[in-house]
C-alpha cells in the first residue's frame, strides 16, 4: 500500500458562523484527463484509457437533506459552520515511449542514431560505446567528434547529453548521434535519466545496447533485433509500416565462424531500424480537497459536503468520533449512495461525478451530537491520501470549540445588552439633572418636585452601580501543586534506533575455531546484558569459503563454523530475553561462486540465488562480469555483486526479510559498505525495516611520505557522504578515529 503526503491547508482551519470568503475548487493545472488512471502519450496525440466503474453494494441512500447541496459554493456565508480547502499531492503513473532510430544521413555516407522520449521531462542520455575488440561489458567514452553539443563527460567511461524538444510546444524530446560506419565502434550503450525526478530508465534491468555490427551476442538488453531498410518518412507515426528483413535462424547464427566475424569487421553493412520501448514515469500531481459543514434548519443535523478535483475514482474511507480522543466509529444511517461497510470499523463511500464533469463529490448527513468527521481518501491504485500522516479531522457542531464559540457569542450579546441598558440609565440621569437645573433657574417648581427628581436620580444611580458590580469578574484562589513533568518518549527511527545504543561485538576473529560459538555466547547473554550493552553484533551466519564468514557462498545456507541454524535461533531468542537487540553481519558487496564459466572463471552462482555472470560488475578485474560498472570500490578476493541489477536487489531484499522473520534479527552490520552505492543500502533497509543498522565504511587514511596526515577530514567526509547517500537510514562506524588510534599504536 502506498501513501501520499498532503501540504498544509491553504488557510488555517477555522470554525465560524458567518465566513465572508468563498474558496473555489480549481482543476489540476497538470494533466487534465478526467477519470483516467493511466495516460498514454504517443506521437501526435494524447488519449485516455477508461476503465468501467466498479459496482458497489449500496448500504442505504442518503436523505434529501444532503441531496440539496450540489456544489461547494452552495454553502452560503449565512449558515456555514466550517469551510476549508486542502492541497493534495499525489503521484500519477504516466505511460509513454522511448524510441531508438538508426538511419542514413542525407549524404548517404554517415549514419545517425536518434534516441527520443514521448513524455515531458528534463531527459538526459547517459551513454558510452564499446569497441570491436573489447571483452567484458565496460563502456568507453565516444570520440569527441561523435559527441552532440552540450555533452558532458562523466568520469572516464560515459557521456551525458541532454535531449532537446523537437519543436516549440512539442512534448517529444530527442538527441541525435552521428556515426561513422568505418569506425571500430561495435555498439552504443545508454540509459535514460530524468533530471527532474532523478529516476533512471533501463532496458530489462540493464543498459540499452544498440549493435553496430551484426555478430554481437544478445545479452537480453539488445535493441533492434529486427532490422529495417529503406528511407523513413518524417513522421514517427508512419514507422509502424517499416519493411523487415527475414530473420536469420538460430542454427545459422550459431554456425558463424570467427573468420566470418573478422570479415564483417572489415565489410559491415549497417541497416536502419526503428524500435520502441514502453516507459512509465511517476509524475507529481497537485489537486484540491474541499470540505464544508452547515446546520440543517429543519432537522438540526449537520450536512457535510466533500468534493475533490482528482480526475479518478476516489473512495472516502470515513467514520465519526464523539470525543477529542478521535476514536473511529460508524455513525447511524442514512449514508450517501455507493457506501459500504469496512470490517465494521469504518465506511467507504465512492464519490460521484460532479455535474460540471470536473471532479467528484458526496454529501453526508450527521447527527448533531458528533464531535468530528474523520476520513482519508483511497485511490484505485491503492494510494492513500491523508493529512500530514494523520487522518483528516473535520470538527462538527458537537465539538467543544463550537460550543465554546456559542458560549462566547452569548456572553458577547449579554455584554452588549448590558452596555445598552447602562447607557440608557446614564442618559436618564443626565436628562433628570438637566431638568432639575432648568427648574432651579426658572424657580417655578415646588420643593417637593425637586426632591422627587433627586430621588429618581438616586434610584437610577443605584441600579447602574448594581450592574457595574455584577459585571466585575471575581477570581477564586487556586491551589497549585508542583508535579514532575513527564519525560517525553524516546523517538525510535528505523535503522538508527534511539541514538543511545551501546554496541557489543559478539565475537572475535578466532571465535569460529570452537565450532560451537553460538552456544558459548548463549551462556554469556545475561552477563553481557548486566554490563550495560543494549545491542549485540553477531558474526556472519552464511556458508562461507573463509571460516570467519566474510566470503559468503550460499546465502540461505546458515550452517556455519559458528554453529547450526537452530543454534543461531536459540541464541537470538536468549539475547532477546535479556533485552538485547541483535544485529546480523550481512555481506552484500561480494559473493563466492559455485561454478566456473567457459573460461574457467568462478562467476556462476548456485543455491537458491542461482545468478549468472550478469550479477557481477562489468569492471571487476578478475571475474569477467557482464553487469554494469561498479558503483563503489572493488573487493579483489571474490566476485563483486552488481547492485544496479533489479533481480539482484529483489533477491537480496527477500533474503534480508527472510532473515528478519526466520532468525529474528533486529538489524544489520553492513560489511564493506564502500563497495557499493549507499542508495542501494536505503533500498535494502526500506524493505527489511531494521531497528538499527551500521555500515563498515573502512577507507584508507591520508599519508604523506609514510607519515599519517594530521588532517583526516576528507576521510571522515567520505563516511558522511555514504550516510547521506543512504538518506540517513543507517549509521556508520567511526573508523577515522579508530584508524588514527591504530596508527599511534594505542591498539594492536
Residue by residue, DSSP assigns 590-645 as B---SEE-TTS-EEE--TTS---GGGB-TT-TTT---S---SSPPPTTSPBB-TTS
What is the spatial distance between Cα 641 and Cα 663, in angstroms, rounded to a whole number?
24
* Strand pairing class (346-350; 339-342): antiparallel
Selection from 160, 212, 170 nearest residue 190 by Cα = 160
For 565, the grid coordinates are: 541454524
195: CB partners within 8 A, 6+ apart: 121, 122, 123, 124
Scanning the structure block, which residue is given the C-alpha cell 538488453? 221
CB 331 within 8 A of CB 366: yes
For 495, the grid coordinates are: 535503522
Residue by residue, DSSP assigns 21-72 as --------SS---TT-S-EEEETTEEEE---PPPP-----PPPHHHHT--SG
What is the spatial distance between Cα 231 and Cα 243, in angstroms, rounded to a whole number?
10
Positive or negative: CA dihedral 609, 613, 619, 623: positive
Q: What is the 3-state secondary structure (H, E, C) of 71-98?
A: CHHHCCCCCEEEEEEEEEEEEEEEEEEE
Scanning the structure block, which residue is given the C-alpha cell 455584554? 415
Q: What is the largest CA-CA distance in the chain?
A: 146
For 203, the grid coordinates are: 532496458
Active centre residues (catalytic): 671, 696
What is the spatial distance between Cα 263 and Cα 266, in angstroms, rounded to a whole number?
5
Residue by residue, DSSP assigns 667-697 as EEEETTGGGS-HHHHHHHHHHH--SEEEE--
DSSP secondary-structure letter at 174?
A: E
For residue 316, give the H/E element and its range. strand 314-321
Scanning the structure block, which residue is given the C-alpha cell 450527521? 366
For 212, the grid coordinates are: 553496430
What is the spatial distance between Cα 575 and Cα 526, in angstroms, rounded to a whole number?
8
How many separate helices (H) and strands (E) can be counted in the chain? 12, 33
Amino acid at each position: 500500500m502506498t501513501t501520499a503526503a498532503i501540504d498544509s491547508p491553504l488557510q488555517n482551519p477555522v470554525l465560524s458562523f458567518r465566513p465572508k470568503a468563498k474558496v473555489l475548487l480549481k482543476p489540476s493545472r497538470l494533466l487534465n484527463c478526467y477519470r483516467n488512471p493511466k495516460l498514454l502519450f504517443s506521437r501526435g496525440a494524447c488519449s485516455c484509457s477508461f476503465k468501467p466503474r466498479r459496482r458497489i453494494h449500496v448500504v442505504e441512500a442518503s436523505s434529501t437533506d444532503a441531496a440539496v447541496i450540489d456544489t461547494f459554493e452552495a454553502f452560503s456565508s449565512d449558515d456555514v459552520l466550517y469551510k476549508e480547502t486542502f492541497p493534495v499531492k499525489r503521484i500519477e503513473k504516466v505511460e509513454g515511449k522511448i524510441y531508438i532510430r538508426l538511419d542514413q544521413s542525407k549524404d548517404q555516407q554517415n549514419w545517425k542514431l536518434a534516441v527520443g522520449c514521448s513524455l515531458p521531462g528534463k531527459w538526459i542520455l547517459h551513454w558510452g560505446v564499446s569497441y570491436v575488440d573489447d571483452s567484458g561489458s565496460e563502456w568507453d567514452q565516444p570520440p569527441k567528434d561523435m559527441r552532440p553539443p552540450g555533452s558532458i563527460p562523466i568520469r572516464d567511461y560515459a557521456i551525458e547529453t541532454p535531449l532537446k524538444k523537437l519543436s516549440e510546444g512539442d512534448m517529444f524530446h530527442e538527441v541525435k548521434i552521428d556515426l561513422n560506419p568505418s569506425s571500430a565502434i561495435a555498439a552504443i550503450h545508454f540509459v535514460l535519466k530524468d533530471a527532474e525526478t532523478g529516476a533512471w530508465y533501463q532496458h530489462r534491468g540493464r543498459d540499452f545496447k544498440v549493435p553496430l555490427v551484426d555478430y554481437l551476442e544478445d545479452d537480453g538488453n539488445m535493441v533492434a533485433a529486427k532490422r529495417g531498410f529503406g528511407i523513413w518518412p518524417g513522421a514517427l507515426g508512419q514507422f509502424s509500416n517499416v519493411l523487415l528483413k527475414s530473420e536469420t535462424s538460430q542454427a545459422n547464427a550459431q554456425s558463424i565462424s570467427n573468420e566470418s566475424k573478422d570479415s564483417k569487421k572489415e565489410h559491415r553493412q549497417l541497416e536502419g531500424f526503428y524500435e520502441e520501448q514502453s516507459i512509465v514515469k511517476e509524475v507529481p500531481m497537485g489537486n484540491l480537497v474541499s470540505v464544508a459543514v452547515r446546520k440543517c434548519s429543519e432537522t438540526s443535523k449537520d450536512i457535510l459536503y466533500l468534493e475533490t478535483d482528482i480526475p479518478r475514482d476516489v473512495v472516502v474511507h470515513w467514520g465519526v468520533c464523539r470525543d477529542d480522543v478521535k476514536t473511529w466509529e460508524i455513525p447511524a444511517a442514512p449514508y450517501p449512495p455507493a457506501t459500504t461497510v469496512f470490517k465494521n470499523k469504518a465506511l467507504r463511500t465512492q464519490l460521484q461525478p460532479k455535474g460540471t464533469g470536473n471532479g467528484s463529490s458526496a454529501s453526508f448527513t450527521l447527527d448533531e451530537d458528533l464531535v468530528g468527521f474523520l476520513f482519508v481518501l483511497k485511490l484505485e491504485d491503492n494510494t492513500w491520501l491523508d493529512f500530514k500522516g494523520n487522518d483528516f479531522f473535520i470538527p462538527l457542531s458537537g465539538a467543544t470549540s463550537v460550543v465554546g464559540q456559542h458560549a462566547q457569542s452569548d456572553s458577547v450579546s449579554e455584554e452588549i445588552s448590558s452596555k445598552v441598558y447602562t447607557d440608557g440609565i446614564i442618559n436618564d440621569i443626565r436628562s433628570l439633572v438637566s431638568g432639575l437645573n432648568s427648574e432651579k433657574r426658572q424657580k417655578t417648581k415646588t420643593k417637593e418636585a425637586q426632591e422627587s427628581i433627586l430621588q429618581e436620580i438616586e434610584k437610577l444611580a443605584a441600579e447602574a452601580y448594581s450592574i457595574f458590580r455584577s459585571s466585575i469578574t471575581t477570581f477564586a484562589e487556586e491551589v497549585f501543586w508542583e508535579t514532575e513533568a513527564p519525560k517525553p518518549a524516546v523517538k525510535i527511527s528505523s535503522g538508527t534506533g534511539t541514538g543511545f545504543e551501546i554496541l557489543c561485538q559478539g565475537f572475535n576473529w578466532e571465535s569460529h575455531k570452537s565450532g560451537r560459538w553460538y552456544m558459548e555466547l548463549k551462556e554469556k547473554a545475561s552477563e553481557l546484558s548486566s554490563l550495560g550493552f543494549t545491542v549485540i553484533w553477531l558474526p556472519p551466519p552464511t556458508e562461507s569459503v573463509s571460516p570467519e564468514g566474510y566470503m559468503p557462498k550460499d546465502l540461505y545456507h546458515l550452517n556455519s563454523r559458528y554453529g547450526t541454524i537452530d543454534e543461531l535461533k536459540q541464541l537470538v531468542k536468549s539475547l532477546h530475553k535479556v533485552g538485547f537487540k541483535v544485529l546480523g553481519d550481512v555481506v552484500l558487496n561480494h559473493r563466492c561462486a559455485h561454478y566456473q564459466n567457459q573460461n574457467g572463471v568462478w562467476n556462476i552462482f548456485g543455491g537458491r540465488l542461482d545468478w549468472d555472470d550478469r550479477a557481477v560488475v562489468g569492471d571487476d578485474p578478475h571475474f569477467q562480469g557482464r553487469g554494469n560498472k561498479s558503483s563503489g570500490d572493488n573487493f579483489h578476493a571474490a566476485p563483486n555483486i552488481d547492485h544496479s541489477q533489479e533481480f539482484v536487489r529483489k533477491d537480496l531484499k527477500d533474503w534480508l526479510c527472510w532473515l528478519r522473520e526466520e532468525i529474528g534479527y533486529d538489524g544489520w552490520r553492513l560489511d564493506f559498505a564502500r563497495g557499493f552505492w549507499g542508495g542501494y543500502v536505503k533500498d535494502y533497509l526500506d524493505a527489511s525495516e531494521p531497528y538499527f543498522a551500521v555500515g563498515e565504511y573502512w577507507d584508507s587514511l591520508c599519508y604523506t611520505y609514510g607519515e599519517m596526515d594530521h588532517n583526516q577530514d576528507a576521510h571522515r567526509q567520505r563516511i558522511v557522504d555514504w550516510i547521506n547517500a543512504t538518506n540517513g537510514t543507517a549509521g556508520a562506524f567511526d573508523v577515522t578515529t579508530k584508524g588514527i588510534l591504530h596508527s599511534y599504536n594505542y591498539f594492536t
